[in-house]
Structure formats: structure tokens, C-alpha cells
Chains A and B, each alone.
Chain A
């Protein structure tokens, strides 16, 4: 192991030890922290969220290995994330100035994408068919309303199933992610 890698591994171990102080399972705590950071970074810079989360965790690990006292790991990580976001925005701003590139993406409704839209529809049907009937009914119903009716329908669904809204939301999100992953694979894309 080269010295750089050894240093990084040592820092990572220091972070795990710090996380273990809060949670008996440091690996789980690390994953949960990473998920929160990803959720946060996706709000602002979704295209770079994965890479930026790694930067935040690397810096956090480095601080832990330096013996910095970290009272609240999540708040400390948030502070680092804000700095990392600031840096990333600055880089993006410079890049835009250099390229003089329009910010807005072309309209994905362009006719050239019609064929792909058909493929996506066909793929979605196929992916929905992989679910059992009850799950399929649930996921379609869950996402079957808009606006003010949306929350009302979801509450009714939860009641009808003898569940809570949070539990149903969790299930719906997992099912939707599964369907989108299935569709991603069918369309050969990176992630949905």
C-alpha cells in the first residue's frame, strides 16, 4: 500500500471509529450519512452529487484522523458539504463563462426523441408486469393523482391498507425505484 492510500485508509478508519461512538454499527452509520449527503447534494448539483459526496466524506475522514473534535457528525458533514457545494458552483460558473454555453437543456420533447419515448413506454409496461398484481395496483394508485388530491389519495390508500402514510411512502418509493431501475436497464442508461 502506497503512503497516500495508507493515509486515506487510516482516515477512513478514524471516521468509522467516530461514527461507532454514535452508532454501534459504524458501517451502517456511514451509509446513512452518505445517503443524506447524496440527498442534499442532489438538491443543488444532481449531476455531481456522487462525486461531491465522496469529497465531503474524504474531508470529514481527514478531520477525524487529525483528531478534530466533532460533536455532531451530521452537522459537521453539512458544514463541509456547504463548502464543497460553493467550490463546485464556482467551478461550474467559470466553466459556463468559458464555454458561453446556454444553461437550459434542449426540450426533450423534440420529435427526435419520440421513438425513445415509445421505447420507454413499452419498457415501463414490461417492468410493471414484473410486479405482482397487488404491488402494481398500489404503485399505480399511489402515483395516480395530482396536486391537492395527491396527499388525500395517498392517505386513503394507507388507510385502506391498514398502514401509515410513512410506511406506504417508503414502500412506494422502493417500488418506484425498482421500476425505474428496471427501465434504466431496458433502455441501457446509467441511472434514473
Chain B
């Protein structure tokens, strides 16, 4: 068998959805029979596909193919049911993780969990993610004493924004917001009761240890007690926010 390139995750996904051209599928069939690592990768691609389907994160075309080709099997429907349960566990963890990700570094020890009933699973994922994402990726905080929150970009398609919970301190905060494209300029907005106010415009991404982000100070007046949305907008395409986070200041 001639040497072939390793298939991408997306190729495996499209194969599982039976959306690959026959010639490409035939190549994968050969590889699956001969490449010792491919069965595991295929199984992983399938698991990730179920996880994304469970979170409604498939495109319309993918969702249709998923229903048509994967869910014809009762065992696969059970896998989807399990994936939905995984998604809910993750959702709980992500809410907590989001808050943990954005713990102000000047007040780590004073931050309190807002949801007492979080599962133990949530705690452990937070521990791991906090260790990896926070310590490895996040840039250094500014030298001032303003609490700093780092907002990590979410790549979840079709999923709702994560909720950050900030204490109602009445202080300004410093935001470091992860971006996905360093060639773009960005704007930050806070939206309260449907009213959008700009925090900063024409922000140029910075890079620290592979973490691309923009940063800005948010005046305390923009983050009064209550619920807000924080919006990251590509300055060249201001119609739709690139990322959005729910922000709860103080107790809901």
C-alpha cells in the first residue's frame, strides 16, 4: 500500500457523516484496515461528533447527515443520550470553569462559588483546566491592582455563551480577551438591557506564550450589579459579535 497522509479530524467526521466523495472514502477504508492508529482516531472522531451533536453544535447539513446515518442504530441513539448527559456535566463545569478562568488574580482567595450544588466532576475539571489553561496560556496580569479577568475564546458552535460571575465590588476591572485572528482589529462592548456601550475600539491583538488576546479596562459604571453581555466584535465586521459572554455582577 502506498504511503498516505494521515487523515484530518474533519475528514474522519465527514466520513462518519457519509459526506466524503467515494474516492476519498475508499482511501480511508484502506487506511483503516492497515493503520494501527486509525481505529482509535476514528472512535475519537465519532465520540467528538456525538458530543458536538449533543450540544447542538453541528451545522444544519451535518445534523441532517448525523440523523440519517448515525441515529438509525439504537445503540448510537443511546450514545447520543450519553453524550447529552456528558454535555450537561460539562456545562456545569464550564460555568464554574469560566468563573474560575476569570478569577481576579488580586482576589483569588476571596472569590466564592456562586453555585453551591456544583458536582464534584465540575471541581475536578476546573482544577485541571485551571492548571492548564490559566497557568499555561494566560498572559501576565498588568502591574496595577485592578482585578484582571481573562476571557478565553469559546469555539462551541451553536452553544450559548458562558456566564461569568463577578463580585459587585464597584471597582473597574481589566479584561484580557482571547482572540482567534491576530491580523484583525477588535472592539469590546458591554450590553445591558439591550443597550450596547463601547468599552474600547480598535484593539490590536497581543501575543504571550501562544495566547492571543486584546485587553482593556472596564469602568465600574459599565458593570453595575445585574446581568450584562460582553461582546467581542471584529472591527472590520461589526454586524455580529465574534464572541459573547454573559456576565453576572453580584448575586442574580
Contacts and interface: CB of A to CB of B under 8 A. Distances in A.
Given A137-B127, A147-B155, A103 B93 contact: no
A141 B128 CA distance: 7
Nearest to B127: A137
Contact of B32 (A36, A121, A151, A153): A36
A78 interface: yes
Contacts of B156: 146-147
Contacts of B75: 46-47, 189-192
Contact of B82 (A43, A124, A149, A190): A124
Contact of A169 (B18, B41, B69): B41
Nearest to A181: B82
Interface stretch (B48-56, B106-114, B217-225, B242-250): B48-56
B151 to A, nearest CB: 13
Given A144-B93, A146-B154, A160-B132, A35 B39 contact: yes
A149 B78 contact: no
Contact of B80 (A108, A160, A191): A108
Contacts of A43: 15-16, 18, 42
A173 B47 contact: yes
B157 interface: yes
Interface in B65-100: 67-82, 84-86, 88-90, 93-94, 97
12 contacts: A36-B39, A39-B43, A45-B72, A46-B75, A105-B72, A123-B85, A125-B121, A141-B129, A156-B133, A169-B40, A170-B40, A190-B78
- Nearest first, the 6 A-B pairs at minimum CB distance are A147-B155, A47-B73, A137-B124, A46-B73, A140-B125, A141-B128
